[in-house]
């Protein structure tokens, strides 16, 4: 059945990589389904700088969420709530920012960051990730805010709440689950981003940047197989949890927005 094939198509590479990451190397090479398992591969990978890199990735992702939400949430609210002159042009401008290639940003930014002292800093990488995530945050939060009934806000104001109180007590709590999904998506953008993170830092490497630097033959590193399995497993781990929550919001987040 088609659905079963589909699950296998997505599932086998993931499952087999986790298996390989936990398998004894000798056993992995000899058998299709390895018989012996060990935590050695993961341990070695973490000791070779992956733990620090993962923590850096985490810090960059949190900073990215903070920056892009601080800038994007008000814009998303305005776009989702009010009709104003130039709204469609604004939406289109945001959409174009979304397709702006990261390569064009990252290379000149590296030169700029060196001169202003942001090169090789986590906040520097977070700035670029926030620039990437910002259009998504604006578009996604606008459709989430648009789904909160305006009547509830108006009722709040009739009962004497200020705009800020309306937002804090009515809109924000109702939008919270959707906003959580948007924050998770921002996390994914940052956690997965490899190009800018590689270009903008040489010592303060995030997990994808470390993986690129150490696994690519021809640019300095050709890591052994177990190292590759361990990095693939660690990198894709958040996806399982995040998708379990985000799945409900897929159509809100990708569907209605153009």
Partner 1 sequence: MPLVAIVTSKRFLEVLGNTLLLVAVVVPLQFVLALAATLLFAESFRGKEIALYFFVLPLAVSDVAAALLWYTMLSPRGFLNKLLLELGVVSQPIQFFGYAFRHMEFLAIVLCEAWRATAIVFVNIYAGYQMIDRELIEASEVFGLSFAQRLRHIILPLLKPSIESALLIRTLFALQTFAPVLILAGLDIPVLATETFYVYAQLFDAPKASAWALLIGILTFIVSSVYVYILRTPEVR
Stretch touching partner 1 by CB under 8 A, among 76-84, 103-111, 115-123, 161-169: 103-111
Query: Which residue in the set 22, 28, 42, 73 belongs to the binding site for partner 1 (CB under 8 A)?
Result: 28
| Number of helical H runs and strand E runs in the chain | 14, 0
Beta bridge partners of 23: 37
Angle subtended at Cα 216 by Cα 213 and Cα 220, rounded to the nearest 5 degrees: 60
| Distance in Å, CB of 231 to partner 1, minimum | 6
Residue 218, phi-psi category: left (phi > 0), alpha (psi -120 to 50), beta (remainder): left
Q: Which of 101, 89, 189, 94 is nearest to 142 (CA)?
A: 94
73 binds partner 1 (CB under 8 A): no
155 binds partner 1 (CB under 8 A): no
225 binds partner 1 (CB under 8 A): yes
Query: Which residue in the set 87, 162, 219, 224 belongs to the binding site for partner 1 (CB under 8 A)?
Result: 219
Stretch touching partner 1 by CB under 8 A, among 38-46, 123-131, 173-181, 245-253: 245-253
146 binds partner 1 (CB under 8 A): no
Is the CB of 97 or the CB of 172 nearer to partner 1? 97
104 binds partner 1 (CB under 8 A): yes
82 binds partner 1 (CB under 8 A): no
- Let me know if 70 is exposed, middle or buried by CB neighbors in 10 A (0-12, 13-18, 19+): exposed
**CB of 193 within 8 A of CB of 211?**
no
> What are the start-end ranges of the H helices in the chain?
2-22, 25-30, 40-45, 51-81, 87-98, 102-116, 122-146, 150-158, 163-166, 172-192, 195-199, 207-215, 225-246, 250
Query: Which residue in the set 173, 177, 224, 255 belongs to the binding site for partner 1 (CB under 8 A)?
Result: 255
Stretch touching partner 1 by CB under 8 A, among 124-132, 135-143, 162-170, 230-238: 230-238
**CB of 129 within 8 A of CB of 64?**
yes
Is the CB of 171 or the CB of 257 nearer to partner 1? 257
**Beta-carbon neighbour count of residue 88 at 10 Å?**
9
29 binds partner 1 (CB under 8 A): yes
Q: Which of 89, 67, 69, 87 is nearest to 78 (CA)?
A: 87
| Distance in Å, CB of 113 to partner 1, minimum | 12
62 binds partner 1 (CB under 8 A): no
Alpha-carbon distance of 55 to 51, in angstroms, equals 6
Interface residues with partner 1 (CB under 8 A)?
A: 2-3, 6-7, 9-14, 16-17, 20, 28-29, 31-32, 96, 99-104, 106-108, 110-111, 188, 191-192, 194-195, 198-199, 208, 211-212, 215-219, 225, 228-229, 231-232, 235-236, 238-240, 242-244, 246-247, 250-251, 254-256, 258
């Amino acid at each position: 059945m088609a659905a079963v094939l589909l699950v296998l198509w997505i599932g086998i590479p993931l499952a087999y990589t986790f298996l390989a990451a936990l398998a004894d190397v000798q056993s992995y090479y000899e058998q299709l389904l390895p018989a012996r398992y060990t935590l050695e591969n993961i341990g070695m990978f973490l000791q070779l700088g992956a733990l620090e890199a993962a923590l850096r990735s985490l810090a960059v992702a949190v900073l990215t969420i903070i920056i892009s939400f601080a800038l994007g949430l008000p814009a998303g609210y305005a776009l989702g709530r009010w009709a104003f002159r130039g709204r469609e042009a604004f939406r289109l401008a945001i959409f174009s920012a979304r397709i702006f290639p990261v390569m064009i940003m990252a290379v000149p930014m590296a030169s700029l960051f060196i001169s202003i002292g942001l090169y090789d800093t986590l906040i520097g990488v977070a700035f670029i990730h926030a620039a990437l995530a910002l259009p998504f945050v604006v578009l996604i939060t606008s459709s989430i805010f648009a789904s909160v009934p305006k009547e509830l806000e108006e009722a709040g104001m009739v009962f004497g709440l200020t705009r800020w109180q309306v937002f804090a007590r009515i809109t924000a709590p109702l939008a919270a689950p959707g906003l959580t999904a948007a924050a998770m998506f921002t996390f994914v953008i940052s956690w997965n981003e490899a190009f800018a993170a590689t270009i903008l830092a040489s010592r303060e490497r995030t997990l994808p940047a470390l993986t690129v630097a150490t696994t690519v033959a021809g640019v300095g590193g050709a890591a052994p197989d177990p190292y590759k399995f361990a990095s693939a497993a660690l990198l894709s781990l958040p996806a399982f949890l995040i998708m379990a929550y985000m799945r409900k919001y897929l159509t809100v987040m990708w569907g209605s927005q153009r």
